């Protein structure tokens, strides 16, 4: 299921959040992108359509969407932090290209046994985990050959 700005707006309303024009501008930018975007890129794109939006609003909206599991954060080796619509919506992980920052989602996480072992050994209450693999996507591998 692909989330649209309108679907996300409905989810926000269901959780009691207001949909301001600024927040809606951020939703439209994120929902229309197939790639990860930095908060600054989201801000620049949203600001071009709504001059009343501020960077703080973008960060707050991203935090809200992240807390509702509607977007996911993607980290890259160079410290780059991007956000993208959660797709697939179930638990998944990422393959991140170190050159172009392309992200490929994959499911089929088999870390439950490791989580159980770590909880048993350390007493740590694990609530979630993040797994990302870094390397070169097929396009970047071809272009560097």
| DSSP SS3 for 10 | helix
In a shared domain, residues 32 and 60: yes
Q: What is the pLDDT of residues 34-48, one digit of tens each?
A: 778 889 999 999 999
Task: Determine the pLDDT at residue 119.
Answer: 93
92 close to 129: Cβ distance less than 8 angstroms: no
CATH number for the domain including 24? Answer: 1.10.10.10
Side-chain-side CA neighbours of 42 within 13 Å: the count stands at 32
Q: Which CA distances in Å does 35 have to 52, 101, 135?
A: 25, 9, 17
Count up the domains in the chain and report the number: 2
Q: Which of 89, 109, 133 is the last residue of a domain?
A: 89
Rounded distance between C-alpha atoms, residue 124 and residue 120, angstroms:
8
Q: What is the pLDDT of residues 44-97, one digit of tens each?
A: 999 998 889 999 999 999 999 988 888 888 776 666 678 877 765 567 777 888
* DSSP β-bridge partners for residue 84: 72
In a shared domain, residues 127 and 67: no
Instruction: Encode burial over 43-76: b for 16+ CB neighbours within 10 A, e otherwise.
Output: bebbbeebeebeeebbeebbebbeeeebbbebeb
Rounded distance between C-alpha atoms, residue 79 and residue 108, angstroms:
26
CATH number for the domain including 116? Answer: 3.30.1490.190
């Amino acid at each position: 299921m692909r989330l649209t700005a309108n679907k996300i707006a409905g989810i926000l309303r269901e959780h009691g959040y207001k949909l301001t024009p600024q927040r809606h501008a951020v939703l439209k930018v994120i929902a229309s992108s197939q790639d990860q975007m930095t908060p600054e890129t989201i801000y620049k794109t949203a600001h071009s359509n709504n001059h009343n939006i501020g960077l703080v609003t973008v960060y707050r909206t991203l935090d809200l969407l992240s807390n509702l599991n509607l977007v996911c954060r993607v980290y890259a080796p160079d410290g780059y932090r991007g956000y993208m619509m959660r797709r697939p919506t179930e638990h998944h992980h990422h393959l991140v290209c170190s050159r172009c920052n392309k992200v490929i989602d994959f499911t089929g996480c088999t870390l439950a046994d490791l989580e159980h072992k770590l909880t048993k050994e350390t007493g740590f209450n694990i609530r979630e985990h993040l797994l990302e693999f870094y390397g070169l996507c097929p396009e970047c591998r071809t272009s560097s050959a």
